[in-house]
Structure 1
Amino acid sequence: MMEWLRYGAQHYPNRKCINEYTYNDIYRGVLHVARNLLPLDASRVAILSDNSATMAMYVLAAMLVHKEVLLLNVHLKPKEIENQLDQLGVTTVLHSKERRNQLSHFVDSKASNSIVTIEFEALEDILSDLAVEDSFDWVFVDTDIAAIMNTSATTGQFKSVPLRWGQIKAHVQASQEVLGKTEQDNWLMVLPLFHVSGLSILMRSLYNGTAVTILPKYDEGQVLKLIETEQINMMSLVPTILTQLEPHITHHALRVILLGGEFIPMALIEACEKKSLPIYKTYGMTETFSQSVTFSILDYPHKRESVGKPLPGMQVRIDNPDTDGVGEIHLTGPMVMTGYINKETIDGDFNTDDIGYIDEEGFVYILNRRKDLIISGGENIYPKELEDLVYTLTSVKECAVVPVPDAKWGQVPALFVAFQDGKSLPPEDIIVFMKDSLAKYKIPKYVKVLTALPRNGTGKILRNELKL
């Protein structure tokens, strides 16, 4: 954001910024909200809202008055929200009208009198203020915290990632180098703004001086209409969403589909290649302000199994490689955080807890999350290898392989699978199919058929909730 929004209002005021609102509209709206937030003496504020242009303005306005903005996951229970606010010393929550009930706990509870909740103003009231003056300090220091995101909140144990201005600036510049930009760019945001994938879309677009289309939530019909009428030409999606969407895409002018967040089934890649859908595989995390490794599959089809090359300024290193060059993936660069809040500073590079390798041309391959690795009788089993194979069965909608304890082998793989409507396969047929391609120790000892796999708000499979 830094100077990017003000620059846009001065140099291309009538260009679309968010939805139907121009850079001048959003600039004025942000100034109006920022003026109302100035009296808050807290150095940190939290925001709880579903995606909207109003939420985007509140996020930017809180940043403009130099608050550290904690973005709360809307799927959290009141007790989880209270825990996060408490651990980070946040006493003010800005929220949408729709999320009021989620915070009634604080309003009604005598124990929570110290929490102040402030509801968003109506959008028309924000934008009707034509007289607001700009007397704000638009200078942001690279080491200052712009936003805070808590990771792994769904497990109860969370770590707080500080996203600093220097990280954001380094990321948007490097991302533009790799993805390019045109004045017609309009980036669809269906992934949550409280998640790094959503916030990074907003920041990249402000830096590029281009447009964002924000939807409150994923709506397949609406997304297809935006694609087919060529109103958007860029999207960030997770594979689950694209798997459902791809069969219905008949006409498009898409320039970029940034695809990441979980492993991507090869069948999906191949289906997209047939339609020349511009898939950019991406690998990143909250700690690196989203994408840190990216490439275009259409440009490098022979590298489709990789996640690409590091963005400019980023370095990927394999730590403790085995004889095949496989080891822990470590990242270094200006987009990498300096350490979790209230934890020790990261000295040197960041251990992603992912396992993979780099080929001779510098392309990075992810084999698995280290925590998802299954060690059975001393043998390493990578769930992704098994899942990729199961996804080649056309009747499979989604699947995941997780470890279960075993008295003899320590751990054995268990497969959880959901099928397309009316196309279920018996578990024993899946096992027979897998035996043709995999060593005996890799074959799942259990297969459980579900109607759907549990997922979090961004579409990631919640492996820890898969139980036999």
Structure 2
Amino acid sequence: MNWLNQQALQNPNKKFLNELTFKEVDQRVTDLAGRLYRFVKDEQRVALYANNSEGMAVFYLALQALQIEVLMLNTHLTQEEISQKLKKLKIKRVFSQDDPFILSQRLGESRVFFTFAEVLQSEIAENVKCADEYNPEQIAVIMDTSATSGEYKSVPLRWKQFYSHVQASQQRLGVTEEDNWLLVLPMYHVSGLTILMRSLYNGTRITLMEKFDEEKTLKLIASGTINMLSLVPTLFMRIVDRIHQHHLRMVLVSGEFIPKPLVETCLAQNIPIYKSYGMTETTSQSTTFCVLEHPDKLESVGLPLPGVTIRIDNPDEEGIGEVLIQSPMLMDGYLGKEPLSGVINTQDIGYLDQEGYLYILDRRKNIIISGGENIYPQEIENVLYANPAVSECAIVGMKDEKWGQVPVLFVVSSLDDESILNYLTQKIAKYKLPKRIFHLDELPKNATGKILKKNLVEKYNVD
């Protein structure tokens, strides 16, 4: 079904996107679809490059109405990283609200890039029909993730996965007429986009923020304007001590390791924190629970959502092993790769208690999670090894009060720190740059020649 059209008919005057009603958003989407048609009529998929805004949401929904696959581009990526993604997925049309980005791309690319303004100023094509119902097998969005090898993998999420997600989430989180969800997580991440999808399905309101602003967020909470909030732990920790009064029905926290002191602070202040666990491949949440209702499960990441089955593969004598997920929200498979058999190995290590609550002990050892962004060490190492002046290198994570973790580089090279950073700046996003660099004569290795990162972490105390 077309959720937007359905809500526009059932709740035409109810606010949906900031001050815009469902009817007004529906009208904008229909109008924009008519203008977009000339740009995308011969395309199967396009890319969207934008930060959170009403315009971004409307563009995404209009492309859905035209049944176009949408690659969501992370705005932190470099031009080289973006070019690689577009080439791999054979995308020739990119839409962006950012004029400087468009201009820089046009100088060196043969693909066609358009600003939102250019599309909005174009003529409306005649006889453009928007989808009344979405095909369950239609790809709604493509989000790139990386394997620990650093290789980009494209995750296609179809309407059947979103439909299963919103149903399961509704059963677990509930819905009220007053719900107003603060959408501050970027919509080019699955955790942000699913807020849009859930609110659309539930007929509830969104307050959209381009990026996290502590003072604005606290003001919205104190005034009771919003009653639902999703944040990664590093962001929530910056405001939790300043929440003195609220009407919050739910604070959903996920995206990285959730510190125990953060949860304990929420319990002390009667903030309804919901811990959650999931991944892009599972359309965000696979487990969640309200810690206030189950304080004895404080260290858990929750119960599986309805329809989700979690099992532990190769458990040891204590029941600890690899976490496997079977779910109707699970992608069919990475683009260009073999389809999944209905189960995904998360490569996380954990266990289930007798009541079925999941506990995660290791968040994929090599991944660095910085401010909610996944940083894959081997991707950076591969870039460094392409420089002939680098003979050995290793990237590890170091704890950081602001970001949770930041990358640290151990290197054997004739290059100095400035030269290394200048080299990397041209090839990887800023948030992936190492915050400290250690120069060594040789990196520790085992008998087979594999670099021992654990030894580096312990010796240099960067954990």
Q: TM-score, normalised by structure 2?
A: 0.79
Task: Map Cα deviations across residues 59-78 of structure 1 (whole Å, 9 max, x no partner).
Answer: 00001101000000000111
1:57 is matched with: 58
What are the within-5 Å matches in structure 2 for residues 12-31 of structure 1? 12-31=11-30
2:100 is matched with: 101
| CA–CA distance in structure 1, aligned partners of residues 147 and 454 of structure 2 | 27
Name which structure has the greater RCO, CA cutoff 8 Å, separation 6+. 2
- CA change 1:148–1:268 in 2 (3 A) is same
Please say if 1:74 is aligned against 2:44: no
CA displacement at 1:100 relative to structure 2: 2.3
CA displacement at 1:369 relative to structure 2: 2.5
CA displacement at 1:140 relative to structure 2: 1.5
| CA–CA distance in structure 2, aligned partners of residues 209 and 133 of structure 1 | 28
2:155 is matched with: 161
Task: Map Cα deviations across residues 168-221 of structure 1 (whole Å, 9 max, x no partner).
Answer: 000000000000000110000111011101100000000000001110111111
- CA change 1:134–1:245 in 2 (3 A) is farther
2:454 to 397, 412, 419: 412
| CA–CA distance in structure 2, aligned partners of residues 336 and 47 of structure 1 | 23
3-state DSSP class of the match of 2:238?
helix
3-state DSSP class of the match of 2:287?
strand
Extract unaligned runs of 5+ from structure 1: 374-389, 416-443, 449-465
3-state DSSP class of the match of 2:135?
coil
| CA–CA distance in structure 1, aligned partners of residues 220 and 213 of structure 2 | 11
What are the within-5 Å matches in structure 2 for residues 49-448 of structure 1? 49-96=50-97, 99-109=98-108, 112-113=109-110, 115-121=111-117, 135-152=129-146, 157-372=151-366, 400=405, 406=444, 410-412=452-454, 444-448=458-462
Tell whether the 8 Å contact from 2:330 to 2:342 is kept in structure 1 after alignment: no
One-letter amino acid matched to 2:454: V
One-letter amino acid matched to 1:445: K
CA displacement at 1:408 relative to structure 2: 7.5
Identity %: 45
CA displacement at 1:121 relative to structure 2: 3.1
3-state DSSP class of the match of 2:247?
coil
| CA–CA distance in structure 1, aligned partners of residues 151 and 212 of structure 2 | 27
CA displacement at 1:400 relative to structure 2: 4.8
| CA–CA distance in structure 2, aligned partners of residues 233 and 307 of structure 1 | 22
Task: Map Cα deviations across residues 123-146 of structure 1 (whole Å, 9 max, x no partner).
Answer: 9989xx9xx998422222211100
- CA change 1:206–1:396 in 2 (3 A) is closer
3-state DSSP class of the match of 1:121?
helix
| CA–CA distance in structure 2, aligned partners of residues 119 and 331 of structure 1 | 40
1:427 is matched with: none
| CA–CA distance in structure 1, aligned partners of residues 461 and 300 of structure 2 | 28
| CA–CA distance in structure 2, aligned partners of residues 144 and 400 of structure 1 | 37
One-letter amino acid matched to 2:319: G
Task: Map Cα deviations across residues 97-128 of structure 1 (whole Å, 9 max, x no partner).
Answer: xx22223233122xx22x111211399989xx
| CA–CA distance in structure 1, aligned partners of residues 310 and 116 of structure 2 | 42
One-letter amino acid matched to 2:115: E
CA displacement at 1:36 relative to structure 2: 1.1
How many equivalent residue pairs? 393
CA displacement at 1:413 relative to structure 2: 5.9
| CA–CA distance in structure 2, aligned partners of residues 180 and 143 of structure 1 | 27
- CA change 1:396–1:34 in 2 (3 A) is closer
2:376 is matched with: none
One-letter amino acid matched to 2:178: Q
CA displacement at 1:250 relative to structure 2: 1.0
- CA change 1:108–1:399 in 2 (3 A) is closer
- CA change 1:10–1:350 in 2 (3 A) is same
- CA change 1:295–1:42 in 2 (3 A) is same
CA displacement at 1:411 relative to structure 2: 4.8
2:391 is matched with: none
Tell whether the 8 Å contact from 1:295 to 1:307 is kept in structure 2 after alignment: yes
